[in-house]
Structure 1
């Protein structure tokens, strides 16, 4: 199945200089629909979603000049390329689904997923700056950051979507000062990480093990009591955490060239 998807993706790349009216494009589109129907069913979400992609729409591609209706070649071209990019994105996500399903790995608590995938799940709160820094750094290392809200929903609930993308070799958890809280009898509010961050940290520690879950902590933020004693690295402005994270990822089994840092 992965082979067929790769063939369809390769063909899509060759269609960038084509248009929605050419025989080559129509044949490719029909082949994609046949494949999706065979794999997911005629009325599946995958087939419906692909069918909604617009490669051409007359009313979106016309100009009215002095009462004359004329098609705008630039608009036609732009719409076709946008549709093709969307289709390619869908197919790449379907390919990732098949790759995950093909793994016959028993995931044992405390052990990493037996996979060569470069995926690293990034757990984050509301600090978009920290999220962007970590994501950018992972890309620099040749890895693929998995940010949950950037993945396709595909009709899933949040927990279904989370579980689908949590099959990774490592996770980086960003404990940033997003919330305020206190014990009932205390008077002073303290900065805390978001509750989803604490939950997902525990999830990954249980799923892939402590040694494969890296915690980055905002300066001055207290780590939850259940995680006290857990080695973490400070998210400092001088980015000293870069070396620490690279070493941890290399120890987990990723191919990291320390000489390029």
Structure 2
């Protein structure tokens, strides 16, 4: 995420914290919505680094408070509620100070840790690109490719599907490099295309190996926060890359609205009303 965009989002969080409704016993939906929004934004900016710090500031009403009168609330729960808000705002202010130290359009290092204790240093180069195209990483599931492409078009964006691009005698990796130069976001389709596992008697459905490879390549090139892993069916996902959240391609289509939310967070000017 660009420096100014990150600062704008963090300052917006501070303003929202100043305008929270007063505490009510076991009924503070705006506060909890604010907490979830903070979590989404700091994860997009910093990855999972500060999520544990945020969780320490979370307010949860005590079960003992239920059934007590307002005196109990004012002396106990209200105090903890207000402290939670103050702690969150102080944390956000510290994030703002950190972002202000970034250099414009500079490279940022994001550590992605695998379950086998190998750490991959991903360099995410920040640069300005037009927010008009969405790259689609795919296997052999034609229906899934078509569904994602259709949603991208409905949002007035251009889907880039590698198989549809002219090869010009390039290798696959050369095609990927060429067609992701002006890409700001990617959907990665994990579909039931292959089988795999440690034991031949315990094989699991997996995405094609090229999908996993291209997912890693795009995380390095455009940033983990700008990739949207979409899982269709009972697919075994890659070994616990820290901070990567996989969205289910549910039959009711809720994934479409989640995709739109992520595109908006990535700076794309779209409207969910078009879906």
Q: TM-score, normalised by structure 1?
A: 0.56
Alignment partner, residue 100 of structure 1: none
Q: Secondary structure at the match of 2:236?
A: coil
SS of alignment partner, residue 115 of structure 1: coil
Instruction: Report the alpha carbon displacement of residue 115 of structure 1 after superposing the two structures with TM.
Output: 1.2
Q: What is the deviation of 1:112?
A: 5.3
Matched, 1:230 2:234: no
- 2:191/2:231 contact within 8 Å kept: yes
Match of 1:181 in 2: 196
Question: CA-atom RMSD, angstroms?
Answer: 1.9
- CA distances 1:195-226 after superposition (whole Å, capped 9, x unpaired): 00000000001111110011101132221114
Q: Distance in 2 between matches of 1:106 and 1:122?
A: 26
Shift, 1:236, TM fit: 1.5
Unaligned runs of 5+ residues in structure 1 are 1-104
Corresponding position of 1:46: none
Residues 144-155 of structure 1 aligned to structure 2 (within 5 Å): 144-155=158-169
CA distance in 1, matches of 2:125, 2:258: 21
Q: Which moved more, 1:119-128 or 1:211-220?
A: 211-220
Structure 1 or 2, whichever has the larger Rg, is 1
**CA shift digits 1:63-105 (9 cap, x unpaired):** xxxxxxxxxxxxxxxxxxxxxxxxxxxxxxxxxxxxxxxxxx8
- Of 232, 239, 253 in structure 2, the residue corresponding to residue 218 of structure 1 is 232
Structure 2 CA distance for partners of 1:107 and 1:135, relative to 1, 3 Å: farther
CA change 1:253–1:227 in 2 (3 A) is same
Matched with 2:187 is: 172
What is the TM-score normalised by the length of structure 2? Answer: 0.53
Structure 2 partner of 1:192: 206
1:14-51, Cα deviation, whole Å (9 max, x unpaired)? xxxxxxxxxxxxxxxxxxxxxxxxxxxxxxxxxxxxxx
- The alignment status of 1:243 with 2:257, answered yes or no, reads yes
Q: In structure 2, how many angstroms separate the alpha carbons of the residues matched to 1:209 and 1:149?
A: 23
Work out the number of aligned pairs and report it: 156
Q: 1:186 to 1:149 in 2, by over 3 A?
A: closer
The within-5 A match list for 1:78-227 is 109-110=123-124, 113-167=127-181, 168-183=183-198, 185=199, 187-227=201-241
How far apart are residue 157 of structure 1 and its match? 2.2
Higher relative contact order (CA 8 A, sep 6+): 2
1:96 corresponding residue in structure 2? none
Specify the SS of the correspondent of 1:110: strand
Closer, same or farther in 2 for the Cα pair 1:106/1:128, shift >3 Å? farther
Consecutive unaligned residues of structure 2, counting only runs of 5 or more, are 1-104, 109-122
Partner of 1:66: none
Q: Which residue of 1 aligns with 2:37?
A: none
What is the CA distance between 1:187 and its match in structure 2?
1.8
Match of 2:11 in 1: none
* Contact 1:215–1:233 under 8 Å retained in 2: yes
Mapping of residues 51-62 of structure 1, within 5 Å: none
